[in-house]
Amino acid sequence: MNEALERGISTNLNHKHRKFKTLDEETESIYLTTNEIDRLYQLQLSDNNRLENVRDLFVIGCYTGLRFSDLSRLTDNHIIDNGTKLKIQTEKTGDIVIIPLHKYIREIMSRYNGGMPRVISNQKMNQYLKELGVLAKIDDKVIIHYTKGGKRTSETTNKYNLITVHTARRSFATNAYLNDIPTISIMKITGHRTEKAFLKYIKISQEDNANKLLNHPFFN
């Protein structure tokens, strides 16, 4: 609207009014628990190279927090310190991140002769991830809310229908947080600039939050 005003396309100034506000709606997204990631990783897919490749790349995302644009550029040249860490300059922000290598990533790399799984398109990967979710029985019922025609509505779907490439990054951030890794350390990897933005990004349920607090001294 500001640009339209500057270009002389519109003379409407209503958006300048102090009571004018934009409406936003939180996106419906999920994360996979470490148990669900384990189930994915333990699937026997040696007879299905297509799904095995996608599964392996997704698991790497779950334990690095990298965006798809960075996952797709990973090579063995990014592995440093005798195979214990990964170092990469992120494409979106230009930040250099260094991430400890999870044992699953080391095992995956050994299966690919020290390299990385083959990268396919984001769209195809999203499609195959839903197949993997079915095989791993990631089928909890999830209620999603959305606005259609100005009306707030909801529907129930299986969790595997909501798995996308970006679920890996969100799973990394959420699981790291639930495992008491300091927020600042996680943000060093995810690239979030403020704790407020980071806490809005992670996804934990009320039950997850209660479980996290169970062993806190305040409740004991």
Name residues whose C-beta falls within 8 Å of residue 103's C-beta, 6 or more positions apart in sequence.
none
Q: What is the pLDDT of residue 26?
A: 54
Q: Give how far Cα 135 sits from Cα of 95, 104, 160, Å.
A: 36, 19, 9
Instruction: Return the bridge partners of 100, or none.
Output: 85
Quote the number of domains for the chain.
1
* pLDDT over threshold 80, residue 203: no
Calculate the average pLDDT of the chain: 90
Looking at residue 182, which CATH number applies to its domain?
1.10.443.10
Tokens of 136: 């791993």
Classify residue 2: in a domain, yes or no. no
Rounded CA-CA distance 105/117 in Å is 11
Rounded CA-CA distance 61/58 in Å is 5
Q: What is the pLDDT of residue 35?
A: 96
Distance of CA 207 to the CA centre of its chain: 20
* pLDDT over threshold 60, residue 156: yes
Q: What is the pLDDT of residue 153?
A: 83
Burial class from Cβ neighbours inside 10 Å (0-12, 13-18, 19+) for residue 66 reads: buried
Classify residue 144: in a domain, yes or no. yes
For residue 155, the surrounding DSSP H or E stretch is strand 151-158
For residue 157, the surrounding DSSP H or E stretch is strand 151-158
Is-above-0.95 flag for pTM? no
Residue 3, helix vs strand vs coil:
helix
* pLDDT over threshold 90, residue 81: yes
Classify residue 148: in a domain, yes or no. yes
Classify residue 22: in a domain, yes or no. no
Answer for the pair 71, 60: CB distance below 8 angstroms, yes or no.
yes
Tokens of 86: 């990964």
Q: Give how far Cα 73 sits from Cα of 70, 199, 203, 208, Å.
A: 5, 28, 27, 33
Classify residue 108: in a domain, yes or no. yes
Classify residue 11: in a domain, yes or no. no
Classify residue 214: in a domain, yes or no. no
Model pLDDT for residues 15-59, shown as the tens digit of each residue = 787 777 665 555 558 999 999 999 999 999 999 999 999 999 999
Classify residue 166: in a domain, yes or no. yes
* Domain encompassing residue 69: 30-202
Name residues whose C-beta falls within 8 Å of residue 47's C-beta, 6 or more positions apart in sequence.
none
